[in-house]
Amino acid sequence: MTNDQQSEHSDQTVDELDAKLLLLLTDEPRLGVLECSRRLGVARGTVQARLDRLTERGVLTGFPPALDLGAMGYGLTAFAVVEIAQGRRAEVCEGLAAISEVCEVHATTGQGDLFVRMVARSNADLQRVVDHIVDVPHVRRLSTSIALSTPVPPRVRPLLERVKGRSPR
Amino acid sequence: MTNDQQSEHSDQTVDELDAKLLLLLTDEPRLGVLECSRRLGVARGTVQARLDRLTERGVLTGFPPALDLGAMGYGLTAFAVVEIAQGRRAEVCEGLAAISEVCEVHATTGQGDLFVRMVARSNADLQRVVDHIVDVPHVRRLSTSIALSTPVPPRVRPLLERVKGRSPR
DNA sequence: AGATCACTGTACAAATTGTCCAGTGAAATC
DNA sequence: GATTTCACTGGACAATTTGTACAGTGATCT
């Protein structure tokens, strides 16, 4: 037995072995290529090739350090829906990007609005951050809500697991 | 010169060297300890100790692989504000967590609501996912908006950079 | 039938890791 | 002021891993 990549020749960019590899690295990201090959029961070169290809395809973009902002003192996470003046998205985004506490901005459907994720050290600090955002030119209205808890932290696992064993749904 | 950690003895959990190290790893996550020490101009043991301590403190939680869901076929990202029946948060969250496409859930202030981030392969697929969410027991109302673009992708850099060089604001 | 592709298994030099240790300032403690 | 503690330096060593290359083998595509 040599080649056993019986992927469903679908246009999927990630086959079963890829998924297994990514799951493995999700659980233990510091594993080396050699160790991965052992755990997966494939040759080292295969793991290496897979990783290279995943990277080429743009699926795997890297292994950035995961930081717990809470442990860094930023215990508060908040979301904001920002209404802006028409046609000013680029400028507003630039303004938002200049605020350190702004960790993520999306342009969304709805009212040509922006959706912002931000962090702060305390309620008072959040106030300050919010004021900052409001101060960005062309920001019309800001609706903020604080994250009280995070029942489902950012995850990709289920998507990968579905590929691994062709699970349901 | 031996010890030069002139951090501002603030209650900060991350000093300048930590920040530099984390920034370095943010840019080139696959760097080894040795290479980091060279780039930072410190001894290898120092880098090792810093990483260990950052991990102990819970600041550095790991190096998970970063996947581009778009490249995996999930080209759509959407956000949803979910209104639920009072006192049913746990159950609803469980239901949401069971849906693979649900990548993140936060409980937020506002109306005891949930905030959901999800992905889908297409508009039709999104429809399916939304239907799924609506089908979760005790979900009362769902307000969905699609992410059209992401002007500021998830980032932590600015927060680290502020520590590195005591920048403004 | 022939070409291509992915994977296996092996090999070897170079680099990195995991550890340990002695020495040195700086800062905190007595 | 003396002492202890702490973080960092710099060096050393064995064990492991990486980068790379290459021949062999099925399966799939043309």
Partner-chain contact B11 A73, CB within 8 Å: yes
Q: Name B residues 47-66 whose Cβ lies under 7 Å from strand C.
A: 48
- Per the structure, the complete domain to which residue B58 belongs is given by 16-64
Last residue of a domain, one of A64, A98, A120: A64
Is nucleic acid strand C under 7 Å from A17's C-beta? yes
| Inside any domain, residue B116 | yes
Q: Are residues A50 and A78 in the same domain?
A: no
Query: Do A75 and A47 belong to one domain?
Result: no
CB < 8 Å to A89, chain B: 151
Residue B163 in domain: no
* Gap from B9 CA to D1 C1', Å: 25
pLDDT in the model for residue A167: 43
Tell me what pLDDT residue A143 has.
Answer: 93
What is the rounded CA–CA span in Å between residue A17 and residue B130? 30
Alpha-carbon distance values, B76 to A81, A106, B5, B122, B155 (Å): 19, 12, 45, 6, 20
Q: Which of B55, B81, B88, B145 to mutate to probe the A interface, most A CBs <10 Å?
A: B145
Pair B28, B82 in one domain: no
pLDDT at residue number B163: 86
For residue A116, what is the domain's CATH number?
3.30.70.920
Give the single-character DSSP code of A71: T
The nucleotide lying nearest A47 (C-alpha to C1') is C7
Residue A76 falls inside a structural domain: yes
Read off the CATH number of the domain in which A40 is found: 1.10.10.10
Residues B26 and B90 grouped into a single domain: no
Per-residue model confidence (pLDDT) at position A11:
54
Asked if residue A139 belongs to a domain, the reply is yes
Same domain, yes or no: B21 and B52: yes
With contacts defined as CB-CB under 8 Å, which chain B residues touch A113?
A: 145
Q: Which long-range contacts (CB under 8 A, 24 or more apart) does A45-50 make?
A: A46/A17, A47/A21, A50/A17, A50/A18, A50/A21
Counting as low any pLDDT under 50, the low residues of chain A are 1-10, 167-169
Residue B43 lies in a domain: yes
As a whole number of angstroms, the distance between CA A55 and CA A9 comes to: 20
B43-53 average pLDDT score: 96
Residue A1 lies in a domain: no
Contact positions of strand C to protein Cβ (< 7 A) = 5-11, 15-21, 23-26, 28
Q: Residue A45 CB closer than 7 angstroms to strand C?
A: yes
* Amino acid B6 CA to nucleotide C29 C1' distance, rounded Å: 20
- As for how many domains chain B has, the answer is 2
| Positions 50-79 in A, CB within 7 angstroms of strand C | 50
Alpha helices in chain B (DSSP H): 16-27, 33-40, 44-56, 89-97, 123-135, 157-164
* DSSP-derived 3-state class of residue A140: strand
How close B35 comes to chain A (CA, Å)? Answer: 16
- Which residues make beta-bridge pairs with B105? A152, B116
Give the pLDDT score at B112.
66
Terminal-to-terminal C-alpha distance of chain A = 31
Please report which helix (H) or strand (E) contains residue A132, including its range. Answer: helix A123-135
Shared domain check, B131 and B95: yes
Q: Are residues B42 and B93 in the same domain?
A: no
Rg, C-alpha atoms of chain B? 21
Q: Are residues B135 and B83 in the same domain?
A: yes
CA-CA distance, B73 to A156, in Å (whole number)? Answer: 13
Q: Please name which of B123, B127, B140, B146 lies closest in space to residue B82, comparing C-alpha atoms.
A: B140
Is B164:B98 a contact under the CB 8 Å cutoff? no
Residues A77 and A36 in one domain: no
**Mean pLDDT (whole number) for B31-43:** 96
- Using CA coordinates, name the residue in chain A closest to B78: A108
- Please report whether residue A112 resides in a domain: yes
pLDDT tens-digit series, residues B117-168: 999 999 999 999 999 999 999 999 999 999 999 999 999 999 999 987 654 3
Q: What percent of chain B has pLDDT over 70?
A: 89
Q: Is A118 domain-assigned?
A: yes
CA–CA separation, A106 vs A118, rounded Å? 12
